[in-house]
Amino acid sequence: MKAKLQVGVLGFGTVGSGVIHILKEHQEKISQVTGYDITVKKVLVRDLEKNRRYETEGFSLTTEPLDVLDDPEIAVVVEVMGSIQTAREYILHALKAGKSVVTANKDLIALYGDELVAVAHENRCDLFYEASVAGGIPILRTIVNSLAADRIQKILGIVNGTTNYMLTQMTSENKSYEEALKEAQELGFAEADPTSDVDGIDAARKMVILTRLAFGMNVNLDDVETKGIRGISEKDIQVAYQLGYKVKLVGRAEEINNTVDVTVGPVLLPRSHPLSGVNYENNAVFVTGAAVGETMFYGPGAGELPTATSVVSDLITVAKNAKLGTTGNAFNSFVHETKNTPSDQVYSKYYFRLEMDDKTGTFLKLTKIFADAGVSFDKILQEPLDEHTATVVIITHAASRKQIDEASNAAHAEPEMRLITKYAVVEG
């Protein structure tokens, strides 16, 4: 007879019932791995009547949060109800009552992660949220585990499935932004108001979470330079493709001299880069470690069963830690003072698309602007747009963000040229 580990579940939607289902189906295996029988004791629901038929399943239903949060027999609380403020309140209550918590709530963790982590640590509880980033990919666990024996230098992530689906459609089916968005909405990947996806906010939240784990720094959302794909042009996608690149919405976090730089935006990736092969709604995180080199983790970014699987993985870790007596240690080991990298120390190649009046001297002026900022050209492509205007595409050599901003601002100030697009270029 194994010791029991009793779980309370907040929320009985598709993920919640997925968790309950998996715990039951894999009960024996889980108990062999953890040394515990993990069972669900109570589930918080909105409506008792609607869920009556589950009452014979071995757990009880309640509409009263404290029934779960104050139950001394419940050792772990699983939060899969969504929302931010209510979930935060319940989780704080659970942690202060000494219960470990597993959540799939990325918005909550991105916004209040440092507060919740601190409270978890004070109360010697675990707080895990594997499902909050890249749904079914065990990326957080892998980062935490590999950190024990390596040092992470850089993370590149395709962490928003909706925008990756749209860019895939625009690249391989030549769809327009509007068509791609409409299709994503019809398929249920994008919401009626797609702001959080297409403006890069969702990706930025996930990068905040990844940065906290990989570099031990609590970056604010406001410090993440965030650009989305709203209104992105087919033209850039096509030109990039001709030049050997794919355009992807990529979150980048990089450690530079004990500072960290985190950005989200469209970037040009060489077609041979492993992230270029990540299509449709899939996610992937590309990690560079000092010892291990380049690794990538690919999989579904969302979905009920993948998410539920990640939640159960977290539960298994909580159970192991409970036995190990290492509960509450996860976030202890690796916290640094958060420092953002100054913009003159972040280097990248860049892609520019400009429209220029087609008259003598304009190109010379452009060349001078970039030379003055200390930015040199790797590739230039010029073609006539109409009788009076030329399209100029430039790929620069690596330059600092400060230099690139200087060149952009100077180009903006010239009436003969219009800077249409500016994207970072990732080298393979």
Among 96, 141, 230, 365, binds a copy of itself (CB under 8 A): 141
CB of 315 to a copy of itself, least distance (A): 9
The DSSP output letter for 259 is E
Nearer to a copy of itself, 274 or 342 (CB): 274
Indicate whether 13 belongs to the interface with a copy of itself (CB under 8 A).
Answer: no
Start-end of H helices in 127-200: 139-147, 161-172, 177-186, 195-198
User: Of 72-80, 132-140, 374-382, 404-412, which segment contacts a copy of itself by CB under 8 A?
Assistant: 132-140
- Residue 100 and residue 327 in contact, taking contact as beta carbons nearer than 8 Å: yes
Q: Using the rule CB under 8 A, is 244 a contact of a copy of itself?
A: no
Q: Are 139 and 133 a contacting pair, CB within 8 Å? A: yes
**Residue of the chain from 241, 297, 347, 377 that contacts a copy of itself (CB under 8 A):** 297
Catalytic residue among 206, 227, 246, 349: 206
Show the site string, 258-287: x = touches a copy of itself by CB under 8 A, - = not.
--------------xxx-xxxx--x-x---
Q: Which is nearer to a copy of itself, 200 or 289 (CB)?
A: 289
> Binding to a copy of itself by residue 324, rule CB under 8 A?
yes
The footprint of a copy of itself on residues 154-173 (CB under 8 A) is 172
Q: Where are the alpha helices (DSSP H) in 52-160?
A: 65-69, 85-96, 106-122, 139-147
Contact 322, 316 (CB under 8 A): no
Nearer to a copy of itself, 124 or 230 (CB): 124
| Spatial CA neighbour of 169 closest among 227, 230, 234, 226 | 234
Contact 97, 69 (CB under 8 A): yes
Is 422 considered catalytic here?
A: no
Cα dist from 72 to 66, 97, 265, whole Å: 11, 8, 46
Which DSSP helix (H) or strand (E) runs through 400?
strand 399-400
Kindly state the smallest distance separating residue 78's Cβ from a copy of itself, in Å.
13
Among 182, 320, 339, 379, binds a copy of itself (CB under 8 A): 320
Paired strand residues for 299: 283
Give the interface size with a copy of itself as a residue count (CB under 8 A): 58
Q: Are 275 and 286 in contact (CB under 8 A)?
A: yes
Q: Does 296 bind a copy of itself (CB under 8 A)?
A: yes
Nearer to a copy of itself, 170 or 399 (CB): 170
Query: Which one, of 37, 16, 17, 13, lies nearest residue 26 by Cα?
Result: 37
Q: Which residues bind a copy of itself (CB under 8 A)?
A: 22, 26, 28-30, 32-35, 136-138, 141-142, 145-150, 172, 272-274, 276-279, 282, 284, 289, 291-300, 303, 305-306, 308-309, 312-313, 316, 320, 323-326, 329, 332-334
